[in-house]
Amino acid sequence: MNRGHQWFETSKQIYSIKNKITVFRWEKNMDNKCQFFREIPLEECFIDKEPYYVPVGNEVEVFMAAYKNRLPVILKGPTGCGKTRFMEYMAYRLKRPLITVACHEDLTATDLVGRFLIKGESIEWSDGPLTKAVKSGAICYLDEVVEARKDTIVVIHPLTDDRRIIPVDKLGVIMKAPDGFMLAVSYNPGYQSVVKDLKQSTRQRFISIDFDYPPADLEVQIVAHESGIGQEMAKYLVEIGSRIRNFKHHGLEEGVSTRLLIYAGKLIREGIEPAKACQIAMVRPITDNPDLQVSLDEIISAIME
């Protein structure tokens, strides 16, 4: 979309429609000032290089069975435990494009399904990511789905039963999903509340795969591979992470994620002193409580001595 384009809502009177399967991405122009939408061809939504993923249980087999039987999947687990990487890995395994939507409280049904846009003197229809995924038989991944408004989530219901359809009211059409289409959503149960929770009418439309931090030996392997540090240093980081996680519900809302262990490893690889790297990558991001920071810093010092 050019910079001069505007969002435009209209009735079912259609002047011109282009059903190009594209993805829109915010980018900046050459002077790094003005942001605009760039259309990303669907081909760029394919995962060309196999993502590094170490299975912890039978999650790969379960997902493959769900895909074969056209069942929607919900991934549940703490922040930074590998849910998004798992989706990338499965999209690669299945050779399907992956369209990811980062859900938030301002996400509307129109954002997912599509809208009319003014382009010059004409009006064009632009598919939303959910409609694009249905048309192209892609995997649509709604990340942190509980952050979206409840009236928005209802739009996915017809895609999660045996109908597998998406009504596009503004076009007056109903689209049926091809066999290749799959819907997957994720959320962190640790952040559940009465306000931010999935209704039972939504929950019971999915099969569920639970995620958690990997066992220590696998986590060492992952941290070493992703950060580029040695196995010995990776063991220290995983041990620190494990001890910090024991503080969950004792001052910490969430334990330190595998992602943060990798961040610490990358800083160490670049020459940052290990204890300092752990403080700025593992402790400071998860708490602002000075007393708790001191306690966690002591854990780091004891292990890194």
Final residue before a domain boundary, out of 170, 187, 210: 210
Whether residue 202 is found in the same domain as residue 224: no
Place of tokens 């708490």: 287
Residue 239, domain extent: 216-304
Secondary structure of residue 116 in the 3-state scheme: strand
Say which amino acid occupies 238: V
Domain stops at, among 148, 180, 210: 210
Listed residue (228, 222, 304, 221) closest to 266, CA to CA: 228
Three-state secondary-structure class, residue 4: coil
Is 202 inside any structural domain?
Answer: yes
Domain limit, last residue, from 171, 191, 210: 210
141 and 229 together in one domain: no
Per-residue pLDDT reduced to its tens digit, 80-131: 999 999 999 999 999 999 999 999 999 999 999 999 998 888 899 999 999 9
Model confidence at 20: pLDDT above 80: no
Number of domains in the chain: 2
Instruction: With respect to residue 269, please indicate whether it lies within any of the assigned structural domains.
Output: yes
| Residues 128 and 220 both lie in one domain | no
**Phi and psi at residue 52, to the nearest 5°:** -75, 115
- Give the model's pLDDT for residue 35: 40
Q: Does 221 lie in the same domain as 128?
A: no
- Based on the domain organization, do 175 and 227 belong to the same domain? no
Same domain for 179 and 121, yes or no, is yes
Q: Which residue has the higher pLDDT, 34 or 90?
A: 90
Do 145 and 200 belong together in one domain?
yes
Residue 1 falls within a domain, yes or no?
Answer: no
CATH of the domain at 182: 3.40.50.300
126 and 255 within one domain? no
- Looking at the domain assignment, is residue 110 inside a domain? yes
Does residue 178 lie within any of the structural domains?
A: yes
DSSP label of 215: P
Domain identity same for 108 and 229: no
Q: How far, in Å, CA of 94 to CA of 88, rounded?
A: 10
> DSSP string covering 26-90, please?
EEE-TTS--EEEEEEEGGGGS--SPPP----SSHHHHHHHHHHTT--EEEE--TTSSHHHHHHHH
Alpha carbon distances (Å) from 80 to 86, 168, 210, 211, 255: 11, 34, 13, 10, 10
Same domain, 226 and 92: no
What's the pLDDT tens digit per position in 125-167? 999 999 999 999 999 999 999 999 888 899 999 999 999 999 9
63 CB-side CA count, 13 A: 25
Q: Do 147 and 55 belong to one domain?
A: yes
- Cα dist. 123→18, 82, 87, 170, 256 in Å? 10, 41, 35, 13, 48
Q: Do 184 and 294 lie in a common domain?
A: no
* Centroid of chain to Cα 171: 29
> How high is the pLDDT of residue 17?
32
Judge whether residue 26 has pLDDT over 80: no
Which tens digits make up the pLDDT trace of 208-258?
A: 999 999 999 999 999 999 999 999 999 999 999 999 999 887 778 888 999
